[in-house]
Structure 1
Amino acid sequence: MSAEPYVPARARLPGLRKAVQSCAGCALHRDATQAVFGSGSESARLVLVGEQPGDQEDRKGQPFSGPAGGLLDRALERAGIDRDDAYVTNATKHFKFSRQRGKRRIHQKPNRSEVAACWPWLAAELRVVDPDLVVCLGATAAQTLLGTTFRLTRSRGRLVDLPESALAGHRHGPARALATIHPSAVLRADDSETELEGLVNDLRVAAEALAPTPG
C-alpha cells in the first residue's frame, strides 16, 4: 500500500496536483470527495504541514480552508507570518471520517500505514518547494517528518534539524523543523485563548528563524 506508483517523477507542483486526484495508494480515496493537495508557492521558504484535510477541505479541495484554517490564519498574523508566503499541506491528502448522527462526517485520525502510504506525495512537495523551515502542526505531522519517537509534549516550539530522509535533494543546505499543536486542538480546548497564545508563541519562533540576519 503506497502512493509511490501514482507520483510522477520530477513533476512540479501543477503536475503533482493533477496526478494526486488519481491516487489509489490506500483505502482513504474511496470515500473522500477528492484529494486535497497543498497550496502555495514553489519558492516558499516555509512549509506548514497538518494531519489531513477536514470536512470542509474535502468539499472545497483546499487545505486549511475550514475552521482550523481560519484559526491558523489568525495565529500566523499574530506571529508576523503572511500565509501567502508559506506553502500549506497535510501529511495525508484524503479525508478520513466516520458517519454519525445522520450524514454528519466525523474526523478520524489516519493510522500509521495510511500516513506511510501517502508519504511519497509529501516528499514530492518538499522536494519541489525545498523550504528552509517546516512547521509540523500536530503530532501526526511531527512524527511523519521527525520520527515516530518524537513527542510533541516534550519538544514543541523548538527548532530542530529536519532529517535528510525527510528532505532528500535539498539544494542549498540543511532545513530545520519546528513542531507545535494543530489548530483544531485549539478549537477543542477548554481554554482556547491560552492554547492559541501557545500556538502563536511557537509560530513566532518560526518567524524569527526565517527573519533576515542583521548586517
Structure 2
Amino acid sequence: MAEELERPGAEQWVPESGGIAALRRAAPGCRGCELWEPATQVVFSSGSAHARIVMVGEEPGDAEDLAGEPFVGPAGKLLRRAIEEAGIAMEEVYLTNAIKHFSFVQRGKRRIHRKPDLAQMVACRPWLEAELRYVDPDLTVLLGASAARQVLGPGIKVTQQRGQVLTRETTLGERRFIPTVHPSSILRARERRHDAYAAFVADLKVVAKAV
C-alpha cells in the first residue's frame, strides 16, 4: 500500500489544455512517482510542437538530467548524427522520453542508469499520451523496447519489427509507428558498432521516406 501511495500517477499534474507549452510548464511539479526526488530536474522534451515526427526514448540519462534537455549525452549525439545522415531535418523532429526523470543508482560519485520499473512507466504515461495528442505527428519513432511497450503495449518485439511501419488504432484514430533500437545500444555494441549504427540509420531512412 505504501508503494502505491508513492506512485499516484501523473494524471493529476497534466493540464487539460494549453498544448505542449502548458505541459512543459507543469511538468516540474509532477509527483506522480518517486523518481522526481533524487533527480536534478524534470527532462521534458525538445523540438517543435508542430513536428511531423516524434521520437520517444526510455528516460533521460545523467547528461540530460543535468542539462534539463533530452538526448544531449553520448547516445543523443549519436541519434542526432544518424537523423542527419538519414536525411531528416531536426526541425521536423520532436524528442521526448517515456519517463521524464532520470532513474539511477548512486555508486560513489557516479550515477548509473537504472531501468524504470513497470509502475514508474505507468505513472508517467499520461505525459506522453498528452504530448502525442498535442503534437499529433505523421509518424512516431519508438527508440528501444521500453518506449515501444509504453506506446504499443507488451506485444511489440523491437528486434523482429524494427524499421517497419506499423499502423495502430489509437484514441486519435489510425496512427503510424516505427520501432527501432535505442541509440545507447549502439554505443554498447563495441566491435559491432559500425554495423549496428548502419542498421539504425537504415531504420531512420524508412522514417524519412514514410513522411
Which category describes the TM-score, using the shorter chain as reference length? over 0.9
After superposition, where does 1:19-30 map in structure 2 within 5 Å?
19-30=26-37
Provide runs of 4+ in structure 1 moved above 3 Å.
Answer: none
Letter in 1 for 2:196: E
CA deviations 1:84-143 (Å, max 9, x no partner) are 21100000100000011x110000111111111100000111111010100000000011
CA deviations 1:53-83 (Å, max 9, x no partner) are 0000000000001111100011111110112
What corresponds to 2:5 in structure 1? none
What corresponds to 1:12 in structure 2? 19
Distance 2:38 2:90 in 1: 30
**Runs (5+) with no aligned partner, structure 1:** 211-215
Determine if the alignment matches structure 1 residue 121 to structure 2 residue 124: no
What corresponds to 2:172 in structure 1? 169
Offset of residue 38 of structure 1: 1.1
What corresponds to 1:183 in structure 2? 183
What corresponds to 2:197 in structure 1? 196
What corresponds to 2:210 in structure 1? 209
Contact (CA 8 Å) 1:146, 1:163: kept in 2 or not? no
Distance 2:48 2:155 in 1: 31
**Runs (5+) with no aligned partner, structure 2:** 1-7
Distance 1:163 1:134 in 2: 13
Distance 2:47 2:70 in 1: 10
**How much is the aligned-residue C-alpha RMSD, in angstroms?**
1.0
What corresponds to 1:213 in structure 2? none
Q: TM-score, normalised on structure 2?
A: 0.94
What corresponds to 2:152 in structure 1? 146
Letter in 1 for 2:167: D
Calculate percent identity across the aligned residue pairs: 49
The count of corresponding residues between Structure 1 and Structure 2 is 203
CA deviations 1:18-41 (Å, max 9, x no partner) are 100000000111110111111111
What corresponds to 2:4 in structure 1? none
Distance 2:117 2:154 in 1: 12
Letter in 2 for 1:169: L
Distance 1:208 1:112 in 2: 33
Contact (CA 8 Å) 1:180, 1:202: kept in 2 or not? yes
Determine if the alignment matches structure 1 residue 62 to structure 2 residue 65: no
CA deviations 1:159-193 (Å, max 9, x no partner) are 001340xxx335xxx32000000000001112111
